[in-house]
Amino acid sequence: MYVADSLRPNFGRLLDVRDVRRVRRVAGDAWVVTVVLAAPSGDFHVADVRVDDASRAITPALDADHVIEAIRAAKVHRAGALAPPQDDFSDFGEADDDDGALDALNEMEEPIESRVQTAIARGDDASLRAARDLLPRLLTEHDKRGATLFTMAEVENKLGENSLARGYLEAAAREFADRFDLAALEKAAALALDLGGKDDFSGSPVHVLLEQSRARLKPVADLFDARSFAGLAPEHREMIAKHTELRTLAPGETLVTEGEPSTHVFVVKSGLVGVWLEKPSGGSWMVRCCFPGWLLGESSVLAGPDARCTATLRAERVSEVWVLPAKIVRAVMDEDLAFGIRIAETKQIHRIDSFFSMHETMGQLDVQVRDEMLSCIQRLETFDDETILLPANVAPSVACLVARGSIALFEDGKPTPIGTIEPDSFYGVRDAVHEIAPSVTAVARAGTTVAFFDAARLKELCARSPEHVVAVLERLG
C-alpha cells in the first residue's frame, strides 16, 4: 500500500495503516488513511492522512512529533478510563428503574417499523400520535426517507393536520424525484390532490416535480442528439457510430463498479441509471439518477491509461445505454478540440456534483436543488499568478469554490492575510446572495483553480427556494 510504503524509510514497522476510505473533492478523489502506532498493548491512533488521487501527495507529512503526541493522548485517555467513577450507587436502583430497563428491552426486541405499522392499523388518535412520535427515528435510514416522510404525511392527514401533511408530502416528493421513483411520486401526487383539490394541485411543488420527472424520462432518439456529441463532423460521427454498441440493462444490473478499470464512455438512451458512491463509513448510497441524454464514464478518456471508475453505475429500471470504446472517443477528441472541451467540462461538473452529494452542508439538499446550484457555475479558471478575485468594499458578482490551491484574505493596507480559503471550501456565497460588500480582498494564490458561481443566478435560486435551502446556502463557507 502506498502510504505504508512511504512510512517505512522513517518509521520502519513502528507505524502501520488500519483504515482506508475514499473522500470526494472538487478537483478529484482523495483517500483518507488512518495511521496507527502498532504497540503490544494495542494501537495508538497517530493521524488520519489525506492522499491525493492524482498527485499522490500525503497531507500532513508525519514526523516524530505526531508519534509523541499520539502516545501522550493515549496515556491521558487510558488514565481517565481506568479512574473509578465517583458516586457510583448503581447497586441501589429502584423498581421503577427496572421497569424502565424492561421497557427499553421490549423496544429493542420490537422494531420501530412494526410498532409504527401496528399503531397506524389501530387508527385511533392516541395510536396515531404514538406513530407520529416514532416515525422521525426512521429518517436516519437514507434509502427509506421518502417512504417515511410519505407515511408521516398520511398520519398527519388522519390527525387532521393538513398543513403538516402537505409539508411532509412535499419533502417525500423531493426524495422520490431524486431517485426518479415515478410510482411513489405518483402516489404522493394522488395524496396531494386529495389534500388540496384540483385547483391547489395544479402548479403545486408535488405537481411540478411529477411533470419534471416525466419529461426527463423521454428517450433520446439518436446518440448525436446528446449534448456532448452534437455538432460533430460527419466523418467523426461515422467513426463513432461504427464502434458503438447499444446495451439493454435489466433493473438492478450493474454497468460498471467503482474502482474497476474505466474503459468505455456511456450515454443513456432510455430508462434510468443510478450513480452509487461508496460511503467513507462503508456501504454505498445512490446520489442521483441519470436520465436519457446523460454522458457517463468520461474518466476513461481523461484520466490516462490507468483510469478507474469513480462510481458504480446501476440500472434502476429497464434501460438502454450506448457503449463507446474509450480509444475511439479519445481519437475524436484529439481531432476536435471543442468536443474534447465538452467532455472535460462534463467531467468537472460530475466531480463537483459528487463533492456536493458528500458535502456535510450541500448533501442536505435534494438533487433538484443541487442541479440548479450546478447550473449557476459561470466558469472554472486556473490562475498562474496571484490575482485579485473579489475586491474589498464591493458587493461580489460571483461566489467561489476552491478546487486547488487557496484564496488569501487581506485587509486594506496589510501585507499579511487574515485568513485562507483552502481547497473544497466556498467563499462569498452569503455575500453574493445578499449583496453584502466584504471588508477584505480575496486573492487567488498562484496555481489556484476556482469554480465561479454567478451571483444573479444564486439570488434567483434563493428567491424561488424554500427557507431551508436558503439557510443551507448561507452557511456555505
In this structure, the answer to whether residues 248 and 324 fall within a common structural domain is yes
Region 8-13: mean pLDDT is 78
Collapse the DSSP code of 35 into the 3-class scheme (helix H, G, I; strand E, B; otherwise coil) and give the result: strand
Residue 21: pLDDT band with limits 50, 70, 90: low
Model pTM score: 0.62
pLDDT of residue 95: 42
**How many structural domains is the chain composed of?**
4
**Range(s) of the domain holding residue 407:** 371-475
Domain boundary among 216, 234, 254: 216
- How does pLDDT run across 367-385, given as a tens digit for each residue? 778 888 888 998 888 899 9
Asked whether residue 105 is assigned to any structural domain, the reply reads: no
Both 209 and 230 in one domain: the answer is no
| Domain co-membership, 6 together with 37 | yes
Residue 265 lies in a domain: yes
Residue at 88 is within a domain: no
Helices within 244-366 (DSSP H only): 299-302, 326-335, 337-358
Specify the CATH number for the domain of residue 428. Answer: 2.60.120.10
For residue 318, the 8-state DSSP code is: S
d(CA 51, CA 29): 9
Residue 67's CB: how many other CB atoms inside 10 A? 18
Which residue is it, cell 488514565? 79
In a domain, 422, yes or no: yes
Instruction: Say whether both 229 and 198 belong to one domain.
Output: no
At residue 474, the pLDDT reads: 85
User: Within a domain: residue 149?
Assistant: yes
pLDDT tens digits, one per residue of 155-184:
999 999 988 999 899 889 888 887 778 889
Residues 385 and 466 in one domain: yes
- Residue 211, pLDDT > 50, answer yes
In a domain, 257, yes or no: yes
Interatomic CA distance for residues 175 and 288, integer angstroms: 10
User: Where among 346, 361, 394 does a domain terminate?
Assistant: 346
Name every residue whose Cβ is closer than 8 Å to that of residue 149 and which is 6 or more positions away in sequence: 139, 168, 169, 171, 172, 175
Same domain, 140 and 72: no
Asked if residue 282 and residue 203 are part of one domain, the reply reads no
CATH number, residue 185: 1.25.40.10
Among 283, 312, 346, which residue terminates a domain? Answer: 346
Same domain, 341 and 247: yes
Q: How far apart are CA 407 and CA 417, in angstroms?
A: 10
* Those residues with Cβ within 8 angstroms of residue 95's Cβ, 6 or more apart along the chain or in another chain: none
**98 is a domain residue:** no
267 and 282 both lie in a single domain: yes
Q: How many CB atoms lie within 10 A of CB 88?
A: 8
| 245 and 271 both lie in a single domain | yes
